[in-house]
Amino acid sequence: MGVAPPVTRHEFDLAVIGAGSAGLSVTAVAARLGLRVALIERGRMGGDCLNAGCVPSKALLAAAHAAQAARRAHRLGVSLAKPVVDWAAVRAHVHGV
């Protein structure tokens, strides 16, 4: 058996559990106020809204609205070819946001 590494001690004024939108906001405000803050997150920074919910769904909706606008452009006197949705490109955009 090996020897356990020495424990490093850190002192904080505030510990925030969860790096979702609320946790990130609280951490930023506390840091601006001069507090020593520990931000604890077991998953990806940003939480569900940023990584799986709000932001990706809005990126997908933007692509849908663009396709719909292209389909309806003729009503405004604009001639466009029939829009073709490249789902691989849409998915890459959504995952890249």
pTM over 0.85, yes/no? no
Q: Which domain holds residue 86?
A: 53-96
- Same domain for 63 and 41, yes or no, is no
- Same domain for 57 and 32, yes or no, is no
- Same domain for 42 and 76, yes or no, is no
- Same domain for 57 and 22, yes or no, is no
Q: Please tell me what DSSP assigns to residue 35.
A: -
Look at residue 75 and tell me whether its pLDDT is greater than 70. Answer: yes
- Same domain for 39 and 57, yes or no, is no
Number of domains in the chain: 2
Residue 27 CB neighbours (<10 A) = 19
CB 40 within 8 A of CB 17: yes
- Same domain for 92 and 59, yes or no, is yes
- Same domain for 3 and 43, yes or no, is yes
Confidence of residue 1 (pLDDT cuts 50, 70, 90): low
Q: What is the pLDDT of residues 19-72, one digit of tens each?
A: 988 999 999 999 999 999 999 999 888 877 777 777 788 889 999 999 999 999
